[in-house]
């Protein structure tokens, strides 16, 4: 599990000052980006060096409580599943220890031409490092 801290900006909120529901997917993306960085790999490395694209094929969010403007959030990201040509990340969004949302995303492994490919072993090894259940 890799924690990432984010501050809710005004543009993340709706007219009521509550984080707009779709922005949780942006928070998940920030969590994935920092997950890779914590493992010593950048998304840019995955795309350019390994020629691997990881488009989202499934996304799910369970909302429990509202985040608001200026809240400091922690997005906890973990790799739940790593298959031959796909992977699944799970997320928890917290504010001061209070669970606000949980969710997951599933990603396909594609080459730059959009064809399914096997996850390169070098990338898989980096992703698996220290992850239970991956």
* Number of domains the chain contains: 1
Kindly state whether residue 76 falls inside one of the protein's structural domains: yes
Kindly state whether residue 31 falls inside one of the protein's structural domains: yes
**Of the residues 14, 62, 70, 111, which is catalytic?**
14
- Its domain, for residue 26, covers 2-128
Q: What is the CATH number of the domain that holds 82?
A: 3.10.129.10
Kindly state whether residue 133 falls inside one of the protein's structural domains: no
Kindly state whether residue 95 falls inside one of the protein's structural domains: yes
Query: Residue 64, CB half-sphere, CA atoms under 13 Å: how many?
Result: 10
Please give the pLDDT value at position 131: 64
Please give the pLDDT value at position 56: 97
H or E element in which residue 53 lies: none
User: How confident is the chain (134 residues) per 10-residue block, as mean pLDDT?
Assistant: 95 93 97 94 90 96 97 97 95 97 97 94 86 56
Check if the beta carbon of residue 53 is closer than 8 Å to that of residue 81. no
Please state, in angstroms and as integers, the Cα–Cα distance from residue 34 to each residue in 3, 29, 63, 75, 110, following that order.
Answer: 8, 9, 22, 10, 21
Please state, in angstroms and as integers, the Cα–Cα distance from residue 61 to each residue in 44, 72, 85, following that order.
Answer: 26, 19, 23
**Any catalytic annotation for residue 96?**
no
pTM of the model: 0.90
């Amino acid at each position: 599990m890799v924690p990432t801290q984010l501050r809710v900006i005004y543009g993340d909120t709706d007219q009521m000052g509550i984080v707009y529901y779709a922005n949780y997917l942006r928070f998940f993306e920030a969590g994935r980006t920092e997950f890779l960085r914590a493992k010593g790999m950048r998304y840019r490395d995955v795309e350019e060096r390994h020629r691997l694209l990881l488009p989202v094929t499934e996304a799910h969010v369970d909302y429990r409580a509202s985040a608001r403007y200026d809240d400091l959030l922690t997005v906890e990201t973990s790799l739940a599943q790593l298959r031959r040509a796909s992977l699944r990340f799970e997320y928890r969004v917290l504010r001061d220890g209070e669970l606000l949302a949980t969710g997951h995303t599933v990603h396909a492994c594609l080459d730059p031409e959009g064809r399914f490919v096997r996850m390169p072993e070098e990338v898989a090894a980096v992703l698996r490092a220290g992850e239970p259940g991956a």
